[in-house]
Structure 1
């Protein structure tokens, strides 16, 4: 008897094939994480290997504990601005909640974002969860608000780059030759700033048009599989509600403008932190010089997203810029600076994780408002 062979593999073979694909995908993710760790370790070693370690210790000891404590304040100011910006966005959506809850949410998500590889993606997911649990923001409004806040962060970042270029274009030119061997650095920053602005405007325009979620819904419905389509269809109301809330945000331009200014304040506070730490170490450097390399290193940190807090990569950038700008003993000073900066980040990570786990007990689940 002749048996006609099916084009489809047996179900067991399909299961084994799927399991193999997932295993390969998981192995690729693990390899990428370990590659990030290796890059971070190599960059950190290159940062510290030429330092005068007794000199590094003496510089750190000269700062003193009281001034070390003061070094925590700029980051606190940045997080206060960030939390208030989030509160204003969601207040504009009709979801008022106490400022303390938004501050707790901000501290928690920032700690998670700084402490794990690809922390930005995890941070957004946890933000969605905490908005619902701590602030009573349901899913559609959470999606619309998070997307709006992301576009405002990009817009504020573009404004921050513009300020840095206006004040520090000449310093970037001066650093460009030692770093790149060419005068391109300030123009690369200009292009990056324009890219941020274009991305912010495109995201905001698409979101506030009130039809992005509907278009996503239409594309998801074209996916193969009856169960997939049924799953998507069951959430049609959520997609429509997301568009309604996004369009409603577009009518609250005053609240969005205030949130954007607060986020610009967040970026500036982070730049002032670097200036403060370098001044504590006795480095004679101007705000314009600090802003000129802070914008570059913030982009470098974002590019190295697989490395927690840009560890090693951003540190090497600080040392390179200090040397390019002619700071005496740049390697030793830079090593002391990055050690203080990383110690400060460890404090904020510990505090943020404490708030995250404590908040799950202290904050009862906020009721959703009709």
Structure 2
């Protein structure tokens, strides 16, 4: 009976987790509909139309460069530890991005798939998972620093709303800093090993003596220890710097779109504020797939501080979703091709 209750609770928990992205999607759609309904749709269409093909091409090129930088950052983490070439990390970084922005999954769904696909290049599953965990830490950590830069620049802007947003951002970043520190400690202090032991012990409790017990898998904690080894600090520093550069480069997307629309009164520092805070708001709502509605709302809020109307801000957000489709769809096709090729070379199960 105890085993049945545990099994039922486990199934119920998995069902709730599977539905979280659906709930996030519904919330995001509701927010997006509300934004459209409460703003001038004609102004949005007019601003979007002024961007033009050259503007969309420029935004897509910038996004591709950002993803390439992130792919190289991931490859630096794995350099010297795995047989996978850097090209594999570049390809899979596009796949990770495509899954996160186009599929109804939370914004870490692509990381799970990316770690699995990396094993197709002969990388141990434990090392693939450890590399993604380290990569996520650098990505989130550098976003926190970037958001802090944006909040610092925002304190120089006059107005009660700007001061309130800057203070809220700094308070939120203080809490986020504790979470990031805990995430780092989780990887460095051996807590993962304890969790692995507990999970393995729990599994053994419900395996009948007559059943074959699975062989112990490679330890993720051991792979994390290899990733964070003292002799690899140079590789890790390069990865961190590449992620920081990627966040800064992302601001060029905003610059390209605003220039095409004809907005020329926004300075470089203001563009950095818009990018930093809108990305931070989107990241905070990571359970909403692709930040649907959240990205638009964040841009409307932050752009309004610099005299950019809501219609232009929504058009800016829509323009930034063009690379999601242009780069994401081919990435999903690459994913399916990798899965199909893997299935074709898998040895047949003996009958």
- Whether TM exceeds 0.5 here: the answer is yes
Instruction: Compute the displacement of 1:58 (Å).
Output: 3.2
Q: How many residues align?
A: 341
Distance 1:229 1:82 in 2: 45
For 1:91, the equivalent position in structure 2 comes to 79
Q: Is the 8 A contact 2:300 2:313 kept in 1?
A: yes
Kindly state the Cα deviation for residue 225 of structure 1 after the two structures are TM-superposed.
Answer: 5.0
- Whether 2:313 is the aligned partner of 1:334: answer yes
Q: 2:132 matched to 1:146? A: yes
Alignment partners' CA distance in 1, 2:207 and 2:247: 42
Flag the 1:158–1:337 CA change in 2: closer, same or farther, 3 A: closer
TM-score of the superposed pair, with normalisation by structure 1: 0.79
> Is the Cα–Cα contact under 8 Å of residues 117 and 305 in structure 1 kept in the other structure?
no
Aligned to 2:349: none
Please say if 1:44 is aligned against 2:23. no
* Aligned-partner Cα distance in 2 for 1:63–1:240: 48
Q: Pick the aligned partner of 1:271 from 224, 228, 251.
A: 251
What's the RMSD between the two structures over aligned residues? 3.3
Shift of residue 108, structure 1, vs aligned partner: 0.6
Matched, 1:117 2:104: yes
Any stretches of 5+ residues in structure 1 without a counterpart?
1-7, 178-182, 366-370
Pairing 1:108–2:89 present: no
Q: Which has the larger radius of gyration?
A: 1
CA pair 227-240 structure 1, distance change in 2 beyond 3 A: farther
Gaps of 5+ in 2: 346-351
Give 1:328-367 correspondences, 5 Å limit: 330-360=309-339
Shift of 1:227: 4.1
Q: Is the 8 A contact 1:51 1:332 kept in 2?
A: yes
TM superposition shift of 1:29: 5.4
Change (3 A) 1:326 1:361: same
Equivalent position of 2:192 in the other structure: 213
Q: CA deviation at 1:266?
A: 1.3
Partners of 2:22 and 2:104 within 8 A in 1: no
3-state DSSP of counterpart to 1:120: coil
The residue aligned with 2:61 is 73
Distance 2:60 2:193 in 1: 44
- Say if 1:36 and 1:306, in contact at 8 Å, map to a contact too: yes
Deviation for aligned residue 1:294: 2.8
**In the alignment, which residue of structure 2 is the partner of 1:5?**
none
Structure 1 residues 154 and 33, CA gap change in structure 2 (3 angstroms): closer
Residue 20 of structure 1: how far off its partner (Å): 9.0
Structure 1 174/236 Cα, relative in aligned 2: closer, same or farther at 3 Å?
A: same
Aligned pair 1:235/2:216, yes or no?
yes
C-alpha displacement of 1:316: 1.8
> When the two structures are superposed, what TM-score results if normalisation uses the length of structure 2?
0.83
Alignment of 1:186 onto 2:174: no
Q: What CA distance in whole angstroms lies between the structure 2 residues aligned with 1:218 and 1:347? A: 44
